[in-house]
Protein backbone atom coordinates (compact mmCIF):
# COMPACT_ATOMS: atom_id res chain seq x y z
CA UNK A 1 0.00 0.00 0.00
CA UNK A 2 1.35 3.43 -0.95
CA UNK A 3 1.95 5.94 1.79
CA UNK A 4 -0.62 8.70 2.06
CA UNK A 5 1.13 11.92 3.07
CA UNK A 6 -0.66 15.22 3.63
CA UNK A 7 0.87 18.50 4.79
CA UNK A 8 -1.28 21.13 6.49
CA UNK A 9 0.68 24.33 6.09
CA UNK A 10 0.75 28.07 5.40
CA UNK A 11 3.10 29.42 2.71
CA UNK A 12 4.97 32.13 4.68
CA UNK A 13 5.58 29.83 7.67
CA UNK A 14 9.28 28.99 8.15
CA UNK A 15 8.18 25.98 10.17
CA UNK A 16 6.15 24.62 7.27
CA UNK A 17 9.07 25.31 4.94
CA UNK A 18 11.14 22.86 6.99
CA UNK A 19 8.75 20.06 6.12
CA UNK A 20 8.45 21.08 2.47
CA UNK A 21 12.25 21.01 2.11
CA UNK A 22 12.54 17.66 3.87
CA UNK A 23 9.80 16.04 1.80
CA UNK A 24 11.38 17.38 -1.40
CA UNK A 25 14.85 16.26 -0.34
CA UNK A 26 13.52 12.74 0.22
CA UNK A 27 11.49 12.74 -2.99
CA UNK A 28 8.22 12.07 -1.15
CA UNK A 29 4.96 12.81 -2.93
CA UNK A 30 2.36 14.48 -0.77
CA UNK A 31 -0.85 16.48 -0.84
CA UNK A 32 -0.43 20.11 0.18
CA UNK A 33 -3.28 21.85 2.00
CA UNK A 34 -2.86 25.58 2.57
CA UNK A 35 -4.59 26.68 5.77
CA UNK A 36 -6.42 29.91 6.46
CA UNK A 37 -5.08 30.69 9.92
CA UNK A 38 -7.99 33.06 10.61
CA UNK A 39 -10.44 30.29 9.81
CA UNK A 40 -8.74 27.01 10.64
CA UNK A 41 -10.06 23.91 8.93
CA UNK A 42 -11.83 21.12 10.84
CA UNK A 43 -9.01 18.82 9.68
CA UNK A 44 -6.34 21.00 11.31
CA UNK A 45 -8.31 21.24 14.57
CA UNK A 46 -8.83 17.47 14.51
CA UNK A 47 -5.21 16.64 13.76
CA UNK A 48 -3.63 19.15 16.14
CA UNK A 49 -6.22 19.62 18.91
CA UNK A 50 -3.60 20.68 21.50
CA UNK A 51 -1.86 23.61 19.76
CA UNK A 52 -4.17 24.06 16.76
CA UNK A 53 -1.15 25.20 14.71
CA UNK A 54 0.48 24.41 11.39
CA UNK A 55 2.44 22.61 10.13
CA UNK A 56 0.95 19.18 10.62
CA UNK A 57 2.25 16.16 8.74
CA UNK A 58 -0.39 13.46 8.29
CA UNK A 59 1.06 10.05 7.42
CA UNK A 60 -1.50 7.35 6.68
CA UNK A 61 -4.06 9.18 8.79
CA UNK A 62 -1.77 9.78 11.78
CA UNK A 63 -0.73 13.36 12.66
CA UNK A 64 2.81 14.45 13.54
CA UNK A 65 2.91 17.96 14.98
CA UNK A 66 5.75 20.44 15.66
CA UNK A 67 8.11 21.02 12.74
CA UNK A 68 11.39 19.70 14.17
CA UNK A 69 9.67 16.55 15.42
CA UNK A 70 8.06 16.06 12.02
CA UNK A 71 11.40 16.53 10.20
CA UNK A 72 12.96 13.87 12.45
CA UNK A 73 9.99 11.59 11.81
CA UNK A 74 10.36 11.91 8.04
CA UNK A 75 14.10 11.28 8.32
CA UNK A 76 13.52 8.10 10.34
CA UNK A 77 10.65 6.69 8.27
CA UNK A 78 12.19 7.42 4.86
CA UNK A 79 15.76 6.64 5.92
CA UNK A 80 16.90 5.18 2.61
CA UNK A 81 17.50 8.54 0.92
CA UNK A 82 19.25 11.79 1.88
CA UNK A 83 19.67 11.26 5.65
CA UNK A 84 19.50 14.56 7.53
CA UNK A 85 20.49 13.56 11.05
CA UNK A 86 23.98 12.11 11.64
CA UNK A 87 24.27 8.40 12.42
CA UNK A 88 26.61 9.07 15.38
CA UNK A 89 24.59 9.60 18.61
CA UNK A 90 26.76 12.46 19.86
CA UNK A 91 26.67 14.31 16.53
CA UNK A 92 22.92 13.72 16.40
CA UNK A 93 22.53 15.30 19.85
CA UNK A 94 24.53 18.34 18.71
CA UNK A 95 22.39 18.76 15.60
CA UNK A 96 19.28 18.72 17.79
CA UNK A 97 20.87 21.27 20.12
CA UNK A 98 21.55 23.72 17.29
CA UNK A 99 18.10 23.25 15.77
CA UNK A 100 16.61 24.10 19.16
CA UNK A 101 18.96 27.11 19.31
CA UNK A 102 17.50 28.31 15.99
CA UNK A 103 13.98 28.29 17.45
CA UNK A 104 14.99 29.98 20.70
CA UNK A 105 17.37 32.62 19.31
CA UNK A 106 16.83 33.16 15.58
CA UNK A 107 13.04 32.80 15.45
CA UNK A 108 12.26 34.54 18.74
CA UNK A 109 14.50 37.55 18.12
CA UNK A 110 13.55 37.76 14.44
CA UNK A 111 9.90 37.86 15.47
CA UNK A 112 10.62 40.83 17.74
CA UNK A 113 12.37 42.65 14.89
CA UNK A 114 9.26 42.63 12.69
CA UNK A 115 6.33 42.65 15.11
CA UNK A 116 7.50 44.77 18.07
CA UNK A 117 6.78 48.49 18.38
CA UNK A 118 8.85 48.97 21.53
CA UNK A 119 12.22 50.51 20.64
CA UNK A 120 14.14 49.03 23.57
CA UNK A 121 12.80 45.53 22.92
CA UNK A 122 13.70 45.87 19.25
CA UNK A 123 17.26 47.00 20.03
CA UNK A 124 17.73 44.06 22.42
CA UNK A 125 16.35 41.68 19.78
CA UNK A 126 18.68 43.14 17.14
CA UNK A 127 21.73 42.56 19.35
CA UNK A 128 20.72 39.00 20.25
CA UNK A 129 19.79 38.17 16.65
CA UNK A 130 23.22 39.13 15.30
CA UNK A 131 24.95 37.37 18.21
CA UNK A 132 22.98 34.21 17.38
CA UNK A 133 24.00 34.34 13.71
CA UNK A 134 27.65 34.85 14.68
CA UNK A 135 27.51 31.78 16.94
CA UNK A 136 26.00 29.82 14.06
CA UNK A 137 28.83 31.02 11.82
CA UNK A 138 31.31 29.65 14.37
CA UNK A 139 29.48 26.32 14.48
CA UNK A 140 29.47 26.14 10.67
CA UNK A 141 33.25 26.67 10.61
CA UNK A 142 34.82 25.68 7.29
CA UNK A 143 32.01 23.29 6.34
CA UNK A 144 29.82 23.92 3.31
CA UNK A 145 26.72 23.05 5.33
CA UNK A 146 25.96 22.35 8.96
CA UNK A 147 25.49 18.76 7.81
CA UNK A 148 29.04 18.72 6.36
CA UNK A 149 29.24 18.40 2.59
CA UNK A 150 25.49 17.82 2.29
CA UNK A 151 22.35 19.48 3.55
CA UNK A 152 21.62 18.32 7.10
CA UNK A 153 19.10 18.68 9.90
CA UNK A 154 20.36 22.07 11.14
CA UNK A 155 20.42 23.45 7.59
CA UNK A 156 16.79 22.44 7.11
CA UNK A 157 15.85 23.95 10.48
CA UNK A 158 17.57 27.25 9.72
CA UNK A 159 17.36 28.08 6.01
CA UNK A 160 13.60 28.90 6.02
CA UNK A 161 14.28 31.98 8.14
CA UNK A 162 16.43 33.36 5.33
CA UNK A 163 13.18 34.08 3.48
CA UNK A 164 12.31 36.53 6.28
CA UNK A 165 15.64 38.40 6.14
CA UNK A 166 14.35 41.32 4.04
CA UNK A 167 11.74 41.91 6.74
CA UNK A 168 14.27 41.53 9.55
CA UNK A 169 16.64 43.99 7.86
CA UNK A 170 13.99 46.56 6.94
CA UNK A 171 12.09 46.69 10.22
CA UNK A 172 15.06 45.86 12.44
CA UNK A 173 17.28 48.38 10.63
CA UNK A 174 20.20 45.95 10.24
CA UNK A 175 22.50 44.84 7.44
CA UNK A 176 22.89 41.10 7.96
CA UNK A 177 25.35 40.55 5.09
CA UNK A 178 27.64 43.22 6.52
CA UNK A 179 27.44 41.74 10.02
CA UNK A 180 27.49 38.05 9.07
CA UNK A 181 28.87 37.54 5.53
CA UNK A 182 29.74 33.89 6.14
CA UNK A 183 26.15 33.19 7.13
CA UNK A 184 24.84 34.76 3.92
CA UNK A 185 27.33 32.70 1.85
CA UNK A 186 25.95 29.56 3.52
CA UNK A 187 22.34 30.64 2.81
CA UNK A 188 23.13 31.25 -0.86
CA UNK A 189 24.65 27.75 -1.14
CA UNK A 190 21.50 26.28 0.38
CA UNK A 191 19.09 27.99 -2.00
CA UNK A 192 21.03 26.65 -4.96
CA UNK A 193 19.80 23.17 -3.93
CA UNK A 194 16.61 22.33 -5.82
CA UNK A 195 14.79 20.82 -2.84
CA UNK A 196 15.29 24.12 -1.01
CA UNK A 197 14.66 26.59 -3.85
CA UNK A 198 11.39 24.97 -4.91
CA UNK A 199 10.12 24.70 -1.32
CA UNK A 200 10.51 28.27 -0.09
CA UNK A 201 9.05 31.60 -1.26
CA UNK A 202 11.35 34.44 -2.23
CA UNK A 203 12.12 37.21 0.24
CA UNK A 204 9.97 39.78 -1.55
CA UNK A 205 6.82 37.66 -1.15
CA UNK A 206 7.47 37.13 2.55
CA UNK A 207 8.26 40.83 2.94
CA UNK A 208 4.90 41.76 1.39
CA UNK A 209 3.19 39.36 3.79
CA UNK A 210 4.97 41.04 6.74
CA UNK A 211 3.95 44.52 5.51
CA UNK A 212 0.30 43.45 5.22
CA UNK A 213 0.22 41.90 8.68
CA UNK A 214 1.91 44.95 10.23
CA UNK A 215 -0.79 47.18 8.70
CA UNK A 216 -3.54 44.95 10.07
CA UNK A 217 -1.94 45.02 13.51
CA UNK A 218 -1.42 48.78 13.41
CA UNK A 219 2.37 48.51 13.61
CA UNK A 220 3.93 51.42 11.76
**What angle (nearest 5°) sits at the alpha carbon of residue 171, between those of residues 216 and 153?**
100
pLDDT tens digits, one per residue of 98-144: 999 999 999 999 999 999 988 899 999 999 999 999 999 999 999 99
Entry pTM: 0.96
pLDDT higher than 60, residue 1: no
How much is the mean pLDDT over the chain? Answer: 96
Question: pLDDT tens-digit profile of 12-41?
Answer: 999 999 999 999 999 999 999 999 999 999
Give me Rg for the CA atoms of the chain: 17
- Across residues 147-157, what is the average pLDDT? 97
- pLDDT above 80: residue 220: no
Residue 162 has a pLDDT of 98
pLDDT tens digits for range 36-69: 999 999 999 999 999 999 999 999 999 999 999 9
**Cβ burial, residue 82 (10 Å; 0-12/13-18/19+):** middle
Amino acid sequence: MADEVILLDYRPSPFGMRLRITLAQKGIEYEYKDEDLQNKSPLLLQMNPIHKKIPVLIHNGKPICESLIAVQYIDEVWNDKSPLLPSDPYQRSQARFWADFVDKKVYENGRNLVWTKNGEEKEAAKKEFIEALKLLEQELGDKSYFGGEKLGYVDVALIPFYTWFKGYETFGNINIEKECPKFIDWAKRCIEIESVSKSIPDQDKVYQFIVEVRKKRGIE
